[in-house]
Amino acid sequence: MSKIWLIIQREYLTRVRKKSFIVMTLLTPLLLAAFMVLPALLVSMSDETETVMVLDESGLIADKLEDKKDLKFIPLAGSLEQAKTVYQETENTALLYIPRMTIDDPRGITIYSRKNTSLQTQVRLENALEKVIESQRFMASGIDRETLDKIEADIKLTTINLSDKGERDNNAIITSIAGVAGAVIIYFFIFMYGVQIMRGVIEEKTSRIVEVMISSVKPFQLMMGKIIGIAAVGLTQFLLWIVLSFVVVTGVSAAFGIDAAPSPTQQFAAGQAAAVGEDVEGLETDEAAASAVDDDGTEMLTDMSRAIANLNFPLILGCFLFYFLGGYLLYGSLFGAIGAAVDNETDTQQFMFPITIPLIISFIMSYTLVLKNPDGPVSFWMSIIPFTSPIVMMVRVPFGVPAWELLLSMALLVLGFVFTTWIAARIYRVGILMYGKKINYKELSKWLFYRV
Amino acid sequence: MSILKIESVTKTYANHTALNNVSFEIPAGCIFGLLGPNGAGKTSLIRIITQITGADSGKIYFKGERLRPEHIKDMGYLPEERGLYKKMKVGEQLLYLAQLKGLSKSEATARIKEWVDRFEIRDWLGKNIEDLSKGMQQKVQFIATVLHQPSLIILDEPFSGFDPINANLIKDEILRLREKGATIIFSTHRMESVEELCDNIALINRSQKVLDGPVNEIKDTYKTDTYQVIGDGHLMVTSPDFEVLEQHENHGIFRANIRLLNNTRPNDLLRYLIQRVEIHSFVELVPSINDIFIRKVKETHHV
């Protein structure tokens, strides 16, 4: 036991002290921070007020257009040619030209601008014009806007799970995010660190240290020590990433005076609110519009936070850790066996293939089929079979999985891990002392039953 | 007492037999030569002794007990293919390997200090293995092999890769270790290189033991009572007691290999020669291990 511990220590320390590890660990949160902060910075920079000059020859619209926080209208008079000259002398964004027309046939409205009009500006102007014209038409047909607003229905579905544990609110988006995030992390962890195990074994083999090592320790101890040591490296890295990301993002946000790193949900809510707000705006007054935005935004936010609060965090976190380690151990020992079977990294391809296939399939399935139907038969079987369960079950867990399925899946994962480790250990003990031989599957299968 | 007793050990791989019913004993405190051409089965036997692999059949006794995993702490093994962790520092590497052999950290550190001083390589401790020359790496690996003071040291082709100076250094260390009571197994196909070092040998050829025993006894058995005589004069041997195997003459100096027959003694030959020629040198022709090996292999093949 103390020997395994020594091996774990060595594997851990040599990796953690490597420059590449330190650089990766420090750089990733910085990149993450950059990704989060940069767009916010850019948006805040481009958020200047747009001023649009309006030449309304029909006289129907110009006085109905409402100024908004970042979109102002300046009515003009005179001919189009004059208006163009006036516009050219200003710094204004665009010139909106409304020709002589009727409410029933609004055609020929044109935007003139020096630069290309952005899509955003165009859409906002179109929206504003539509509102004005619609209201005019309502008035013409005897309906006023207020009545219409009363008639309009705004439905939001609240989904509630009726399970044994009683009712609880559910929000598919939040649940999906929680599940897929866990699955993605597990997927990358298995790949990144599985390959590290393989490389480590190949390194020991090519540097010929392995014969010295296994005259001191059992091959199984050497393999397990490496697998556990590298797992510890991975956990360390993720932990550091979480802590550093938090520190960096908060720090940068504070420094740039941006609202403290908006969480994805907040961003989402804000986005929704903005979209809704734009829609509601129109003939209503600024305050009304603003309050509408606030109302919808807060409702959305409370929805989100309620959904987040309703996620079973201890369960999700527990499952994450279990499948994280279980999946890593299951695949890690196989990666180790591949490393032992080959002489150099270029020979690994043919053996990597059958290992990566179930991983990739479960990864793709997890955000397509499984998300769409977390309780369907495909999701069920994939979350039970050990080779796909670490990723697929992680997606399902936030949606709620019957206890027996979870227990079965976990038990099978443990069995699967024991099984792959048994296979890997048998390939490993033969492979690490085998040099210069071209290995194929037939050869490998013989190794399983060698007496060593 | 024998430190290691090998009893009819057989080992077969998928399509060939590496060891076929091999038995011999290694006395404690000796330098033992495990000799044989490449592919004879030396490394397979060593891997069985170091418990890297197991024998198909046969028994091995270490200090009188059946070989057990704990015995590994009392052995040091320098494989033919040398290797260390390339990106690890010399000091850390030695400490790690010593700890794996069951040494405490403080004890290992003290012994490392002693050895680096003896080899005058203190400056290397902080260097990565990959920054050392091949000869330096070998020195480090030798230290790693003996650091835990094993009573059985197994060296597979120990001198390959060493320059003559370092080879001598290692030779002296090996003799010193035997003085302190360790038993050393030398495995090599270059038989002449260890002849003067070994007390006992075993010859292995084609997975079978051909011959084993103390070197001087073996040589006695295989000596042919042949003497080389160099002298001045015209040599003509007519006695039926002596047989001239070879004779050359050059500028009046002759050189002849003469074998004693009919239980005659060397002195009889000398007495016979002195009356006829002037003798400059008289040496017994002792067969080298290499000669013995070749003779023995030929014999077994004829049978």
Q: Which residues pair with B79 in a beta bridge?
A: none
H or E segment and range at residue A76: strand A71-76
Residue B214 to residue B195: CA distance in whole angstroms: 11
Taking an 8 Å Cβ-Cβ cutoff, which residues of chain B contact chain A? Answer: 14, 47, 50-54, 56, 69, 72, 75, 77, 79, 81-88, 96-97, 99-101, 141, 144
Contacts of A11 in chain B (CB under 8 A): none
Closest partner residue to B54 (CB to CB) among A211, A217, A452 is: A452
Handedness of CA A146, A149, A150, A151 (dihedral sign): positive
Contact A9, A224 (CB under 8 A): no
Closest CA to A342 of A209, A437, A208: A437
**What tens digit of pLDDT does each residue of A288-325 get?**
444 444 455 555 556 666 666 666 778 888 888 899 88
Task: Output the DSSP codes for B17-44.
Answer: EEEEEEEEEEETTSEEEEE--TTSSHHH
Instruction: Note the residue count of chain B.
Output: 303
> What is the CB neighbour count within 10 angstroms for residue A251?
12
Q: Which residues pair with B208 in a beta bridge?
A: B205
Contacts with B87 (C-beta within 8 Å, 6 or more apart), sequence order: A14, B128, B129, B130
**What tens digit of pLDDT does each residue of B125-182 get?**
899 988 988 888 888 999 999 999 999 999 998 888 788 888 888 889 999 999 999 9
Beta-carbon contacts below 8 Å between A and B = 58
Q: Which residues pair with B99 in a beta bridge?
A: none
Q: Does A27 touch chain B (CB under 8 A)?
A: no
Residue A227 to residue A32: CA distance in whole angstroms: 28
Order across the sheet with A71-76: list the strands. Answer: A71-76, A50-56, A94-98, A110-112
Contact A41, A60 (CB under 8 A): no
pLDDT at B108: 92
Cα distances from A151 to residues A147, A154, A296, B93, B109, in angstroms, run 6, 10, 18, 80, 86
Contacts with B141 (C-beta within 8 Å, 6 or more apart), sequence order: A212, B78, B82, B83, B84
Strands B200-205, B31-35: pairing kind: parallel
Closest CA to B119 of B185, B161, B175, B172: B172
Residue B53 to residue B61: CA distance in whole angstroms: 16
Query: Mapping DSSP to helix (H, G, I), strand (E, B) and coil, where does residue B47 land?
Result: helix
Print pLDDT tens along chain B (303 aa): 789 999 999 998 877 888 999 999 999 999 999 988 888 889 889 989 988 888 889 999 999 999 988 888 899 999 888 888 988 899 999 999 999 988 899 999 999 999 999 888 888 889 998 898 888 888 899 999 999 999 999 999 888 878 888 888 888 999 999 999 999 999 988 887 777 888 999 999 888 888 889 988 888 888 888 899 999 888 888 888 888 888 888 888 899 999 988 888 889 888 888 888 899 999 988 888 888 888 888 877 665
**What tens digit of pLDDT does each residue of A175-223 get?**
777 788 888 888 988 988 999 999 999 988 888 888 888 888 888 899 9
DSSP code at position A106: -
Contact B219, B286 (CB under 8 A): yes
Contact B183, B174 (CB under 8 A): no
pLDDT at A284: 40
Q: Residue type for B260, please?
A: L
- Find tokens 């295989």 and name the residue: B222
> What is the CB neighbour count within 10 angstroms for residue A29?
19
Strands B183-188, A50-56: pairing kind: unpaired
Q: Does A211 touch chain B (CB under 8 A)?
A: yes
Q: Which residues of chain A have pLDDT under 50?
A: 165-168, 259-294
Chain A residue at shortest CA distance from B98: A216
CA atoms within 13 A on the CB side of A338: 23
What are residue B201's phi and psi, to 5 degrees? -140, 160
Distance from CA of A265 to the nearest CA of B (A): 45
- Full-model pTM: 0.72
> Would the CB atoms of A217 and B79 count as touching at under 8 Å?
no
Q: Residue type for A329, please?
A: L
Closest partner residue to B72 (CB to CB) among A7, A216, A451 is: A216
Closest partner residue to A216 (CB to CB) among B82, B84, B100 is: B100
